[in-house]
Structure 1
Amino acid sequence: MLPKNKTYNLSLLIGLLLFTSQGAWSQSVIKPYQDHPFVQEHSIKYYIDSLTQPRSVAMDRNGNIQVLTHKGLYKPHAGQFLNPGQLVEDRSYLAMKDKKVKAMEVYQEQFVYLDDKAVFSNAWAGGIYFLHGSNAVAQFVPGKEFEFLIYQGNTISKLGRDGVLWQQELDGELIDIHYGKDKGLFYALMKEGLLSIRDEDGAINRLLSGKGFTAFAIKGNEVVLGSNNGYKRFDIGSGKVGAQTSQVPWPEITAVQWIHDRLWFGSNKGAFMLKEDGSYNYYFGERWLTGDRVIDMAEGKDGSVLVLTDAGLSQLVFASHTLEEKAAFFEDQVRKRHIRLGFNSSLSLKERGNVDSGQLKDSDNDGLWTAMYLASQAFRYAVNGDTEALQNCQESLEAMERLYLINPVEGFPSRSYNRSGYKEQLADPERWQSSADPEWDWKATTSSDEAIGHVFVLGVIAELVEDSAMRDKAIGLLDALMSHIVQHDMYLIDYDGKPTLWGKWNPEYVNNFPKMVGDRKLNSSNIIAMLQTAYHFTQKEIFKDKAYELMENYGYLDNLMVPMETIGKAEEGGDDWAAMLSEAWNHSDDEMYFLGYWGLYRYAFTEELKSKYAEAISDHWKSETAEKDGLWNIITAIASPGNFGQEDAVWYLQEYPMDLINWTMTNSHRKDLQFLAPNFREQSTSQVLAPDELMIRRHNANRFTLDGGNKGMAESSAGDIWLLPYWMGRYLGVISEAKK
């Protein structure tokens, strides 16, 4: 058992043992994903006061952005990624203050304006100033050779240097006008149809009749017509009308634009972009947009997309990154904002979305989340020998060691610890206990997911980190924890002398569950993995003997081999505890399984057992493939290097947002999703959504939960969510180093 003031010195023993750590698995079987740059989007947001009404947005050739409001011209101020700015009055041109600007367009990449007197611009040396002579004009659209179509209601006029050239009255309610330079025609969308207007003389031709149109875009011969029920396509040349497309994220279309050769839609519930495969990238919620209702969209010359809502402007930036560069960004995020006393912690925000208002929070699972981050740094160190990664390991391992030292129970890991005097302000104050040092309190009732997290990372450090002091410490802690469990009859015993609620691996508890209840399989799988890991690094026969006793005398091997397809609800009339634990699929259990699989497979006692474990791991992974969880897929590579969902793992890493603020995200309203009937696994849709369209969640959450979040009042750490699967993937050869 580990004394409170020292660790074992087992460096020589480790050297003898590590040659067996790889077993039959080989990195050479895996063809690494080549880490080339990919497009990663993020949003820069600029909010506007609620009394100001935005109308349109544009960017000129110089990269200047202007927003037209009912109060005049505004511009972005002080915004950057994760630090929103504001839209403020644009005072660049003093004389503009007296202009009653009604509309704004970009022509030849320059701003052009319409006021109650003229169409004019500050570009071209101010030489564009075309009087229109009508106080009623409200909108305009550029045509060819500095000519403009101006309109109010259904009255349209063509304006040039010599004044009004012709005027027409349209029959019906005018929605919008665009110029088609390919044919030299203006196209007018009416609420009940589409018209063409000849540039030379204003001759009108009805191209299409319909109802309920709200917005449109034109590119060559193709017109895309938005409505309150999705959109349809119309080919001007052939006159062919496409079918109505209503299965879009939200069908009430407010804007349609071709932006950077992609078709974009604005709606009353966010913006979405049509992808090549016919699905959509959906931008909704404050991760992406300042408000729900999209008023206007525009192309940014820097490759960005400008989305104007009723609450301000969002600039969607599409930048090129490699996964390695994304990892560097997240490494910085963790170190700057998410390290509490060495723990990997979440940041609670006092102001919505403001990371500078954050307070580091304790957690029931400080040990687990830290174990996962610590493992990421151990893998990082094993990949490239990074001295910063080694220091990160040292600091977090010290925090985990203190979980054992701060309480009076030998070999028992606390959930967390904090300075005393703040108990009422911490999560679950009733679980906190005073330590021998009056400066500190510690948290009791440690769970089984903490235990498996500890064993996972202690094994990773013992195997991979070439630092004898750290190895000794890791092995000593591993020995202490597992000695505690074995000596207490396979229970985790708290300060009160009683087992914790979840720290139970005793056969009387485990085998009391029917075989279809997941806890029987889970606890069997976890404890065998824990005992194997302890034996591998300590060579203490008690751990090996206990594992074989559980497998041979109590059926734990059979338990862990139970196929996942048989796991379900307990039969009626059985134990209430079993019924409660089997109401639905438990995704925290998935996390415990897969972290345990590292030691279950890698440190198997025999090749025969390793083969069986590989079968169990692959069986579990196949039941998880729909979730496309990057960590589950990459861990599966140790047992099934030829089939582990490599493409989905990379997709997960690429699609996870760089903004880890817990914004509230909703998707249950979407019309483009195929919803499933209620089921045991709580899989809501046929296909999982991209992580950047969902709320931020750790690996222990259901990735098919469509709605949720915390209104931007917290930021999660990338340490366990992203850095662990990435660096494990690098170590296992799933992902290559960056290709420049």
Structure 2
Amino acid sequence: MRNCVTGLLVALLCCTAVFAADEVPAKVGVFPQEIAKNYSVADGLPDQKVLSLHQDETGIVAVTAAGACRLEGATWKPVRDFTPQRFVLVPDGDAYTLAPAEAAPGSGAVIVRSFAGDAKAPVAIAAAEGLFLRNDQGVYEKSPACDGQGRLWGACDVRGVTLDSDGNLWVAMLAGLACRTADGWKFYTGHEGLPYNDFTSIAAGPDGAVWFGTTKGIVRFKNGTWHYRQGRRWLPDDHVNDLLVDQAGNAWAATQHGIGWIGFTPMTLAEKAAFYEEELDKYIKRTPFGYTSEVKLEKAGDRSTVVYTDSDNDGLWTSMYGAGECFAYGATRDPEAKKRADKAFEALRFLQTVPQTGDHRPPKGYVARTILPTDGKDPNEGRIERDTYHRDNHDVLWKVYEPRWPKSGDGKWYWKSDTSSDELDGHFFFYPAYYDLVAETKEEKEAVQQVIRDLMDHLIDHDFNLVDFDGTPTRWSIYNPDSLNKDPLWWEERGLKSLSMLSYLTATEHVTGDPKYGKIANELIEKHHFRTNAMIYKIHFGPGSGNHSDDEMAFMCYYNLLKYSQDEALKHEILYSFFSAWINEWPEMNPLFNFMYAVFGRDAKHTNPWDTYDISPWEGWLDDSVETLKDFPLDRVAWDHHNSHRLDIVLLPRQQATEPYESEVPQRGHRVNGKVLPVSERYFNHWNHDPWNLNYGGKGHTLGSGTVFLLPYYMGLYHGFIDN
């Protein structure tokens, strides 16, 4: 058995020995930020059904079901007597000649779908009958390409052809894409990363990009990378009737419900951060305290129709936002970042003070989940019935009591009880970052010391549980050693809860300077096996499996435990646990997780009884992180994304796709390169989401926070991984 284990470790770690080559810091500079805009009848289109697009010396002309129009400024104006020129191939012996459609005889003519090159003498023609290439005599011959494996490409139903800016010929068909270069033909299917193949149109840009319209969105290929643009974030309708790329490299898509425009604006990561900060201040922050999560939109995509409501985890999301501002201040000394971090601290501190002011007071140190103003609807209405149903049908440990939302002493606020471990992970992640990087005066430092001490002492005094005003532990904040180690209902929580508690104690010792917390942590390790428990923080069956909220929580705890612990033996073991966790997350291209691990894992070694191994982050961790940060859409509205039909998707096997006890297997997977979908091809609010999902059903009625970008960006900046 030892030889098998050793062989597996050697195979894995030898592969990763060359995996730390990413040059730090990554110098990002100015990059093209992708943006989109849709045009409808409200912008002057005569009809929402747009059939084709054309460009002449005066600009873009669109042909709709109700006539043609030209874009003038931001408005489409009617155009009279515009008739798109059509061509056919006319039989000429064994070949064909090109002629205007109106001048050609009807019999035997081949309708030209598109052509590549000069309209007077194109080098290639796409037609239902196949691919036609111009020969040395200036006539056209049917010329399918052989891929060397016995397959002919372009024998029939060729959807489009174009020449890219390097002169390569691209041919689109249901079989995939063929590209003729100076070195011969290349062929692309889903195995080579092509996302979809039901092509309707094709166009090349001046920057080397080639765009493909399909019946389900747009595909773009540039510099060896595929991009898929589908759903309302990018297009007014997925069915693209025609495609045009202008001289600036912007793509125009004629669809069944208007025109979509996809373009690029020069931007830096710092400018992108400023954009998200402005959106947070303008639309996201809730109550005078500025809690940050997501907001609802009454009208799809319309930010002027914001509706504020709570989320179960406002404390967690505000903690992560606040931590990002701490790293921002640590990296830039921007006074605005300090103001934001100070505001986040006060918001989180209020969650600890407000429960102590009313008729339902939990023990000192307790933190509420969130708050709501009392001038709105009473959140307790119908709550007992819902909680009873949830306990009886979904969760036998669910608490049923009232009021779940007690009132504050001044009558201004409802505060939500039954606080979860998610919240505590967030609070404890934020406080030491705030203490180290932002709190400067004696008063500021003493304030954060008091908050973290009160919370930690509450947990210690109640046998490592968070206890509600009813005198019982909350549903999820149970860290009691006997529960974790002996109660069969809690065995699945053993790893993460042990990791969390050790990180809480370590963070509290760091902030307060009180060694008693380190001694308690050591007691949990020696008497209750918390270090051993923490080595495997969740039960999983490989990448993509298990609860993804656990991943986000664990990574915050790993970061704090390794950053603040003074126990070198503990850190040695926990770093290997962190590495084992990180390699499962590596395909997710998550900049937050990558940066958190790289802080401790770069050039790190792990020694076990058999050898010493390199546990550095694998090659590409920094490139993936930067690409994800650049790829984030500026539009944080939750629009739908559908990817399960794609050709480049590999579905996860059942043991990874779902829990063992689930009978239905969801469609979850990754691209053929082994990595999940890029962030521009899915939607999520927070880093606890499941990136292996393929379909997202947003209808434009949620606006997400930019924290998912800001926290990893500022953390990467602070730790020197990225350079603007």
- Superposed pair shares fold, TM > 0.5: yes
Partner amino acid, structure 2, of 1:705: N
2:344 to 396, 404, 414: 396
Contact 1:353 1:661 in 2 (8 A): yes
Q: CA deviation at 1:321?
A: 2.1
Contact 1:461 1:470 in 2 (8 A): no
| Percent identity for Structure 1 against Structure 2 | 28
Residues 353-364 of structure 1 aligned to structure 2 (within 5 Å): 353-364=301-312
1:70 to 51, 54, 65: 65
Q: CA deviation at 1:40?
A: 2.1
1:730 maps onto 2:717 in alignment: yes
Contact 1:156 1:167 in 2 (8 A): no
| Unpaired segments ≥5 residues, structure 1 | 1-28, 80-87, 104-113, 115-138, 144-153, 570-582
Cα deviation, 1:42-77, whole Å, max 9, x if unaligned, reads 111213489542122245556x43322122223568
Tell me the distance in 2 between the aligned counterparts of 1:515 and 1:36. Answer: 51
Change (3 A) 1:285 1:471: same
Change (3 A) 1:78 1:186: closer
Tell me the distance in 2 between the aligned counterparts of 1:695 and 1:548. Answer: 42
1:482 maps onto 2:456 in alignment: yes
Q: CA deviation at 1:217?
A: 2.4
Contact 2:217 2:229 in 1 (8 A): yes
Task: Name the structure 2 match of 1:264.
Answer: 211
1:274 maps onto 2:224 in alignment: no
Change (3 A) 1:281 1:215: same
1:325 to 245, 264, 271: 271
Residues 184-195 of structure 1 aligned to structure 2 (within 5 Å): 184-185=121-122, 187-195=124-132
Tell me the distance in 2 between the aligned counterparts of 1:611 and 1:391. Answer: 37
Instruction: Give the length in aligned residue pairs.
Output: 624
Cα deviation, 1:69-101, whole Å, max 9, x if unaligned, reads 12222356897xxxxxxxx6515xxxx4xx343
Q: CA deviation at 1:198?
A: 9.4
1:684 to 645, 669, 672: 669
1:418 maps onto 2:372 in alignment: yes
Change (3 A) 1:186 1:38: closer
Query: For 1:340, what is the secondary structure of its paired residue?
Result: coil
Greater Cα offset, 300-309 or 395-404: 300-309
Q: CA deviation at 1:715?
A: 0.9
Tell me the distance in 1 between the aligned counterparts of 2:133 and 2:578. Answer: 63
Task: Name the structure 2 match of 1:646.
Answer: 622
Task: Name the structure 2 match of 1:287.
Answer: 233
Change (3 A) 1:543 1:428: farther
Partner amino acid, structure 2, of 1:250: Y
Query: For 1:296, what is the secondary structure of its paired residue?
Result: strand
Cα deviation, 1:554-606, whole Å, max 9, x if unaligned, reads 11111112487xx348xxxxxxxxxxxxx950111111111112321111132
Query: For 2:640, what is the secondary structure of its paired residue?
Result: coil
Query: For 1:637, what is the secondary structure of its paired residue?
Result: helix
Contact 2:465 2:473 in 1 (8 A): yes
Residues 8-27 of structure 1 aligned to structure 2 (within 5 Å): none
Change (3 A) 1:169 1:730: same
Structure 1 or 2, whichever has the larger Rg, is 1
Query: For 2:649, what is the secondary structure of its paired residue?
Result: coil
Contact 1:226 1:253 in 2 (8 A): yes
Change (3 A) 1:658 1:428: farther
Task: Name the structure 2 match of 1:127.
Answer: none
Tell me the distance in 2 between the aligned counterparts of 1:311 and 1:560. Answer: 53
Q: CA deviation at 1:726?
A: 0.8
Greater Cα offset, 608-617 or 307-316: 608-617
Change (3 A) 1:485 1:679: same
Contact 1:172 1:190 in 2 (8 A): no
Tell me the distance in 2 between the aligned counterparts of 1:584 and 1:245. Answer: 28
Contact 2:537 2:554 in 1 (8 A): no
Cα deviation, 1:468-510, whole Å, max 9, x if unaligned, reads 2332222211011111111111110011111000011001111
Task: Name the structure 2 match of 1:694.
Answer: 682
1:610 maps onto 2:571 in alignment: yes
Task: Name the structure 2 match of 1:308.
Answer: 254
2:353 to 405, 409, 412: 405
1:56 to 52, 59, 82: 52
Q: CA deviation at 1:653?
A: 1.3
1:662 maps onto 2:607 in alignment: no
Partner amino acid, structure 2, of 1:716: G
1:43 to 21, 36, 40: 36
Greater Cα offset, 476-485 or 321-330: 321-330
Contact 2:203 2:212 in 1 (8 A): yes
Contact 1:307 1:315 in 2 (8 A): yes
Q: CA deviation at 1:169?
A: 5.1
Change (3 A) 1:90 1:140: farther
Contact 1:175 1:214 in 2 (8 A): no
Change (3 A) 1:37 1:218: closer
Greater Cα offset, 664-673 or 534-543: 534-543
Contact 1:362 1:427 in 2 (8 A): no
Cα deviation, 1:322-363, whole Å, max 9, x if unaligned, reads 222221222212112111121112120111111221122211
Change (3 A) 1:517 1:707: farther
Give me the TM-score of the superposition, normalised by structure 2: 0.79
Q: CA deviation at 1:250?
A: 2.2
Change (3 A) 1:72 1:543: same
Tell me the distance in 2 between the aligned counterparts of 1:329 and 1:172. Answer: 55
Change (3 A) 1:76 1:447: farther
Partner amino acid, structure 2, of 1:255: S
Partner amino acid, structure 2, of 1:375: A
Tell me the distance in 1 between the aligned counterparts of 2:381 and 2:637. Answer: 20
Task: Name the structure 1 match of 2:160.
Answer: 215
Change (3 A) 1:404 1:280: same
Cα deviation, 1:669-694, whole Å, max 9, x if unaligned, reads 10122333223366622321111011
Residues 60-459 of structure 1 aligned to structure 2 (within 5 Å): 64-75=59-70, 89-91=76-78, 96=79, 99-103=80-84, 139=86, 157=99, 167=104, 171=108, 173-178=110-115, 180-181=117-118, 184-185=121-122, 187-195=124-132, 205-208=141-144, 210-218=155-163, 223-233=169-179, 245=189, 248-260=194-206, 261-277=208-224, 279-341=225-287, 342-407=290-355, 408-409=361-362, 410-424=364-378, 431-459=404-432
Change (3 A) 1:177 1:303: closer
Contact 1:423 1:432 in 2 (8 A): no
Task: Name the structure 1 match of 2:703.
Answer: 715
Tell me the distance in 2 between the aligned counterparts of 1:246 and 1:554. Answer: 51
Q: CA deviation at 1:466?
A: 4.0
Tell me the distance in 1 between the aligned counterparts of 2:116 and 2:198. Answer: 24
Tell me the distance in 2 between the aligned counterparts of 1:185 and 1:724. Answer: 51
1:634 maps onto 2:619 in alignment: no
Partner amino acid, structure 1, of 2:580: D
Contact 1:224 1:233 in 2 (8 A): yes
Tell me the distance in 1 between the aligned counterparts of 2:646 and 2:295. Answer: 30
Change (3 A) 1:327 1:221: closer
Tell me the distance in 1 between the aligned counterparts of 2:186 and 2:596. Answer: 46
Tell me the distance in 1 between the aligned counterparts of 2:496 and 2:190. Answer: 44
Task: Name the structure 2 match of 1:593.
Answer: 554
Q: CA deviation at 1:249?
A: 2.0
Tell me the distance in 1 between the aligned counterparts of 2:312 and 2:505. Answer: 24
Give me the TM-score of the superposition, normalised by structure 1: 0.77
1:705 maps onto 2:693 in alignment: yes
Contact 2:219 2:228 in 1 (8 A): yes
Q: CA deviation at 1:30?
A: 8.2
